[in-house]
Structure 1
């Protein structure tokens, strides 16, 4: 049995994408610890396959002066090195993980040959990638599982094993959803994501909600960047009212979750209960979308020549992809799933 450290600092969705790797390593007798920042902490802190979680305070680190930055790095590295890891796996593969990875003290520091932003310098063993990093047809979950394959472990299934929520969280969600009509199926609308051009256009969301209103229980989640989506709608507005654990429990009680490419759609997929429609604009659906059961998980993208560009800013300065796919295509899937 090896003692293994997995490094993935950000983001929420990307931390979720490492959980199948965590589970397959644990199922094969290894002890798994995890290094993560604030965004993904709640995903891994109570995970049944993870023994110990190191929290790297990335938000504080970014705001700090150089002396405080060095102190944070030193403290984190000291805590990691005390564990005397046999293996460290860099699932971040970016500059932000380089120093922590390089000085982890692990005997074997494994990364990919095409790791980005000089992060390859932290490794001493290198995996030849099956495809180019820009091959958008190879799912990131499979790329993460290539770490297991390198260690001569062949994954047999994709499983997330999200920890069951506490009684307190369930009671809190009971209150939030107390007005649910049990005679109707429930759709969670989670319209927010990170990059501007990953957002489906607000006019599409309004049209979609109008067509769904009255037929289903509609529950709106997120930080509340687009409160107008649920104006004049018979739904439950949870904008800004849930933490990550409560949000996960809300997803677990839904029949369907509709979201752009985001931590929310990944969270819903990892729950295993609701069907998921994930709407993709600029990012590649085959790389980051929910997959497995094609009657339950849908990654939907338009057919524009520029898609997917995988860029934070639109080179054409038009954001045409944010209007795709059309609302009618989403409605067709909703009717198919919930019929």
Structure 2
């Protein structure tokens, strides 16, 4: 049997989707599993032990609706998918574009969500009904397996080659010299961001209480945020050598390695949060505009600190009232939760 899973983006969503892979292996021991993904996240998917990773450039995806641009790329992808002769295709993305690619494979079994956006459901012949606001995104993905006969699917992640990544990361940044916390200091949504001075004060308080080092991580666009966090941490009494910024320096696999080796990951609702959960790291998650039940750290919802406002979760990338709701979560509250999770008196 040959199975294709379509889940091109984003980082956290891809990680959540990969929870079905070990279960598919158990259901169909001799199956071949391919994954259709944005090339930006291919490195991550390649850690999951798949038989093939089909990469595409984001530009080709964006230009799908254009008559004159992107058509060559889409045609090449469509031909490749058709030639692979899949038995089963699972569309976890649920958009018109992913629905089209599901259909063009010609697979006899095409699974997708009944509430898929942009009328993508018309391309599926086995529709999955889920109550998205009542269950976690991981469980939504697992529901697709019921259409293949698995009545009680369970989430599981298996990553391959991480030990080599940990060794390499330690050689570069000496992460194993001391125990440490990892802070994910940025977010794509403005409304998800926690103030840098709050991260900084939290780092200082944790250092004073535990003596543990803090590594900061983020994208290249978030280097300035990490620098601001460091400034406020040192200003509040954190030793300069105890806080290190790796923002903009880590690949996806190195991010996994950092999270795996950390004592705990402090994060907002970000892709790295889901990465940390998938490798068994302890997480404390700060949440505002999104629903913790649906988007929080899987099976670690007790470690969520969420804002208490009538408008939450609003799912808005920018607040129309120019409020900074996440600032209602204090560093002291976060430190208390971390200490509780670490069982440190």
Query: Is the TM-score greater than 0.5?
Result: yes
Aligned counterpart in structure 2 of residue 329 of structure 1, from 330, 333, 339: 333
Q: Who is 1:157 aligned against?
A: 154
Q: CA deviation at 1:144?
A: 0.6
Q: CA deviation at 1:63?
A: 7.1
Q: Does 1:219 align with 2:226?
A: no
Deviations 1:210-246 (A, max 9, x none): 2123521111111214021012343122111111111
Q: Who is 1:16 aligned against?
A: 15
Consecutive unaligned residues of structure 1, counting only runs of 5 or more, are none
Within 1, Cα distance between the matches of 2:14 and 2:152? 18
Q: Who is 1:279 aligned against?
A: 286
Q: Does 1:196 align with 2:190?
A: yes
Q: Does 1:143 align with 2:140?
A: yes
Within 2, Cα distance between the matches of 1:37 and 1:158? 23
- Contact kept in structure 2, 1:61 and 1:68, CA below 8 Å: no
Please identify which structure carries the higher helix content: 2
CA pair 210-96 structure 1, distance change in 2 beyond 3 A: farther
Q: Who is 1:72 aligned against?
A: 73
Task: Provide the secondary structure at the position in 2 that maps to 1:18.
Answer: helix
- Contact kept in structure 1, 2:100 and 2:123, CA below 8 Å: yes
| 1:218-237 pair list within 5 angstroms | 218-223=214-219, 224-226=223-225, 227-231=227-231, 232=234, 233=240, 234-237=242-245
Within 1, Cα distance between the matches of 2:186 and 2:254? 17
Q: CA deviation at 1:148?
A: 0.6
Q: CA deviation at 1:60?
A: 5.3
TM-score normalised by the chain length of structure 2: 0.87
* CA RMSD between the two structures: 2.2
Within 2, Cα distance between the matches of 1:61 and 1:37? 9
Q: How many residues align?
A: 326
Consecutive unaligned residues of structure 2, counting only runs of 5 or more, are 235-239
Q: Who is 2:41 aligned against?
A: 40
- Contact kept in structure 1, 2:285 and 2:304, CA below 8 Å: yes
Q: Who is 1:245 aligned against?
A: 253
Q: Who is 1:57 aligned against?
A: 57
CA pair 4-324 structure 1, distance change in 2 beyond 3 A: farther
Within 2, Cα distance between the matches of 1:66 and 1:109? 26
Q: Who is 2:237 aligned against?
A: none
- Tell me which moved more, 88-97 or 77-86: 88-97
Aligned counterpart in structure 1 of residue 166 of structure 2, from 163, 170, 180: 170
- Contact kept in structure 1, 2:142 and 2:153, CA below 8 Å: no
Within 2, Cα distance between the matches of 1:86 and 1:23? 18
Q: Who is 1:116 aligned against?
A: 117
TM-score normalised by the chain length of structure 1: 0.89
